[in-house]
A and B are shown apart, each in its own frame.
Chain A
Amino acid sequence: MDQEARLAFWLLFPTFIVVLVFVIFPVIWNLWLSLKPVSLGDLRGISLFKFNLTLENFRKVFGDQHLGPGLLTTLIYTIGGSALSILLGLMAALLVHGEFPGRGLLRGLFISPYIAPVVAVTFTWSFIVDPQLGVLNWLAVDKGLLAQPIPFLSQRWWDLDLLGVRVRMPLALISVILFEGWRYFPFAFLFILARLQAIPDELYQAASVDGASPFRRFYHITLPQLSTVLSTLFLFRFIWTFNKFDDIFLLSRGQAGTKVLTIKVYDYAFGEFDIGASSAVAMVLFGVLSIFLIIYFRWILKED
């Protein structure tokens, strides 16, 4: 028994070290930085270890009038992007679930947005939707679909006339959410397809004989069978999108109503050279995400 315990210790030890160095230490270090007046210049030198703790950074961050709207933007971006990527993934998985020639090729193609380098795809999309140089706007204007080009990534609001009702749409935010949905649907697609293939055909046959139409078979068999994978996917996508920085930064630089909190972290650190405030925003992100996870797990546990 003693020997087994020792073996278990040595087997777990490397993992423990990795978690300590790459997970626990950065969180504590970030908390430490957020509680001190640290500027970019202070990152080298002995002053980092001084015990001059203060809540000044948090006071500054919470006093920032952009924090509330930034959090709201982050939530809209996260929920919209996660939901859209899962929805697209579900549709794609259903599309290539059956047997048809070229299925393998199509499945492979569906993965490509996920594996292409982010810099490449953001630049590609930026060029496609660019109001002056972009092929999309050019085509739409040329064919008479649009009176003038739409600056998808640089205009905050877009007034739309829907059957006489004027609707104000956050254009740039919607654009980056669409990008997020496009880029990450393959992730959801792979998970959903795998689960979809594991559902026995006989369940569908039984439901057909029981009198269920195709739509009801989807609603009563497929969806419940996918519920676990869908909720797990939403959890993953929520966490990752909430912390997402590169995609949105490369597309819009956080301009035109797309300033999520991760870009705020960047702005404080490299715009104002205020590492302390930057760390404080990161801690706010961490806190909000933790609250979300607690609620989510409570809800999931209750469901089961």
Chain B
Amino acid sequence: MKQILLITDGCSNVGLSPVVAAAHASSEGISVNVVGVLDHGDVGELGAAEIDEIARAGGGLSRLVNMRQLSQTVQMMTRKTVVQTIQLAVQKELKQVLGDGSIEALPPEKRGEVVRVIDELGETSGLKVALLIDASASMKPKLAAVEEAIRDLMLSLQARQGKSEIAVFHFPGTRNGDDCVMDLNWTSHLNGVQAIFPKLQMGGTTPTGPAIMHVIDFYRQGDYGRHSRDETDGMMSGYVV
């Protein structure tokens, strides 16, 4: 199971639409969840609509939260999406048996058996979550809470019986033209990781869409940077047709 979890506080303003990018992810079998972090004000009507739309296109969930709720939301969303992903797969498998294909339409006894299978798979199957963090200037005071949420998520994932890995990215990159930078490659523990975002220079644009594409490419390659390092247009090569 593959997920992208986008944590942002506002609107994208550069490059490909994040909604299109999320739809790309979905077609690659990657669910996109979006958390909008509020501080005192809010993300604005436009921001809220975009956050909702990205998750819709990416087949995931979206939520607006304040910083105190961040850890719990991230944890809960990841869990729900795991169930949802398996539910869809099971539903597909059972289509012939279930007729209209919906688990909800089954009588409670049958539903119980199906849900038992979903729960079991949800606990034991492999899971990869790529966290994509908006590091534009307004996110700066929220990064500590984001880091806490990532550590907390790792703790929850470690308790699963299946193999669970996370990777962390932020955007925009520090150098001009970098849409997205990897902070942490696939790992199943954070022991010894002192700071996930050391000396991050915040600011610049908010290329949410290109950053999502970057992470899709990362998933596709399986091994970060192995192929694209030598190419002049970097990550773009994977999806620009």
Tell whether A pairs with B. Answer: no
